[in-house]
Amino acid sequence: MRDKSKVKSQKSKAKSQTLKLDSRITLDYGSGGRKMHRLISEIFIKHFNNPILRKFEDSAELEIQKSKPDYCFTIDSYVVKPIFFPDSDIGKLSICGTVNDLAVKGAKPLYIAVSFVIQEGMSLPSLEKICASIANTAKSAGVMIVTGDTKVIERHSQDQPRPSRIKQEIFSYEQGRGEEIIITTCGIGKILPDFRNPTLSAKNINIGDKVLINGNIGDHEGAIILARGQFDFKARIKSDCAPLYGLIETLAKAKCRIKMMRDPTRGGLATTLNEIADAAKLGISINETDIPMQKSVKGISDILGFDPLYMANEGKVVIIADAKDANRILRIMKKHPLGKNSAIIGEVIRRKHGLGVWLNTKIGSQRPLLELEGFQIPRIC
């Protein structure tokens, strides 16, 4: 059933692309895909090299109190446009993204530092709305915002009005139009005792382990694509943006044995699974029919030619656990508000043809899910 020639060509393509970096940074280098990983390993790791950074995780494990890692430390900058989108905004996102990077390491988020880079001209009500959103999200995630910084940068003269075909009646995110803010959040979390020895890591996983996810994929990127108003759809997709610690704490309290977790944000589920498979030097196969997805996300991806497996999520966690523990973990996840659509979507396998991630399709074939070079290009472009 498998198309071997296609696999071979993709494999050799993947290999031939481990060449040198481009001479200038393009948007692809911020996509979460292979170009970004190469930038990280060939520039950042090269210069900043140390054992903690080399682990290539979204959070650094620190030894503060104990001689074993006990705290996690993470940073992320948020540059999303538009800054307001259905039921969420850049403020909520900037807290969720950072507390989730801590939570997936099994760490209870404690402290957040926030830095604002505001483009001059932002209205005070917009800034205040973002701050209220940050405050609410921080409260619901149980973290304290303890320090911050504010810079204001010059306005760029070319700010364009959005295309006329925007359906203003569909969304109420008009506030924020033409306004720009970059928010960087940095978080410190304390690793829960259950996840401390060993710490959650791709190194813990074995062939036969099950792969779980806590719900529908692609909602966040779907919401952003629609909120940009470049396409004339009547669909409404809400971002899944949510702090995940509550769900993870529930699993910890129930003494669920988890081997590793990761949040499939930029680059989506396929990219995250590739990172896990590469770190573990194993393979992962997932079943197309088991992957939870909203009809509206499936719809806009079909039309625009995006693959939802590569679309960003902001309230999802991929969990890997021993096969004998997976069903119990699934049951507990399904009872949590953020896990209603949880599913076991695949398992850990041996690498095949040197490639890490394989999709068992609806029609019974198997195709590799390569890491993208950069951004997805919609078919309509």
When asked if residue 157 is in the footprint of a second copy (CB under 8 A), the reply is: yes
When asked if residue 151 is in the footprint of a second copy (CB under 8 A), the reply is: yes
CA–CA distance from 320 to each of 7, 32, 132, 210, 284 (Å)?
26, 21, 35, 6, 10
- Compute the distance between CA of residue 26 and CA of residue 39 in angstroms, rounded to an integer: 11
Distance, CA of 380 to chain centre: 25
Buried b (16+ CB within 10 A) or exposed e, 209-237: bbbbbbbbbbbbbbbbbbbebebebebeb
Distance of closest approach, residue 105 Cβ to a second copy, in angstroms: 11
DSSP-based three-state secondary structure for 183:
strand
Neighbour tally for 194: CB within 10 Å: 15
Which C-beta is closer to a second copy: that of 148 or that of 198?
148
When asked if residue 58 is in the footprint of a second copy (CB under 8 A), the reply is: yes
When asked if residue 62 is in the footprint of a second copy (CB under 8 A), the reply is: yes
Which C-beta is closer to a second copy: that of 160 or that of 164?
160
Among the listed residues 14, 75, 170, 303, the single contact to a second copy using CB under 8 A: 75
Question: Got the DSSP string for 227-282?
Answer: HTT-S-------------HHHHHHHHHTT---SEEE---TTHHHHHHHHHHHHHT-
Among the listed residues 14, 87, 140, 145, the single contact to a second copy using CB under 8 A: 145
Distance of closest approach, residue 141 Cβ to a second copy, in angstroms: 13
Tell me, by CB under 8 A, how many residues bind a second copy.
73
Residues 102-141, one symbol each (x = binds a second copy by CB under 8 A, - = not), give ---------x-xxxxxx-xxxxx--xx--xx-xx--x---
Among the listed residues 12, 15, 152, 340, the single contact to a second copy using CB under 8 A: 152
Distance of closest approach, residue 191 Cβ to a second copy, in angstroms: 13
Nearest-5° angle of CA 127, CA 234, CA 125? 10
Buried b (16+ CB within 10 A) or exposed e, 113-139: bbbbbbbeebeeebbebbeebbeebbe
When asked if residue 48 is in the footprint of a second copy (CB under 8 A), the reply is: yes
Among the listed residues 1, 4, 67, 154, the single contact to a second copy using CB under 8 A: 154
DSSP code of residue 355: B
Q: What's at 167, amino acid-wise?
A: K
Give phi and psi for 349, each to the nearest 5. Answer: -130, 180
Whether the Cβ atoms of residue 115 and residue 125 lie closer than 8 Å to each other: no
Distance of closest approach, residue 178 Cβ to a second copy, in angstroms: 12
Query: 182: closest CA among 109, 238, 127?
Result: 127
Which C-beta is closer to a second copy: that of 151 or that of 255?
151
Candidates 146-154, 164-172, 191-199, 334-342: pick the segment binding a second copy (CB under 8 A). 146-154
Among the listed residues 6, 17, 52, 361, the single contact to a second copy using CB under 8 A: 52
Among the listed residues 17, 41, 150, 168, the single contact to a second copy using CB under 8 A: 150
When asked if residue 146 is in the footprint of a second copy (CB under 8 A), the reply is: yes
Whether the Cβ atoms of residue 217 and residue 359 lie closer than 8 Å to each other: no
Give phi and psi for 353, each to the nearest 5. Answer: 55, 30
Which C-beta is closer to a second copy: that of 175 or that of 366?
175
Residues 188-227, one symbol each (x = binds a second copy by CB under 8 A, - = not), give x---------------------------------------
Among the listed residues 144, 207, 254, 377, the single contact to a second copy using CB under 8 A: 144
When asked if residue 233 is in the footprint of a second copy (CB under 8 A), the reply is: no
Distance of closest approach, residue 193 Cβ to a second copy, in angstroms: 16
When asked if residue 306 is in the footprint of a second copy (CB under 8 A), the reply is: no
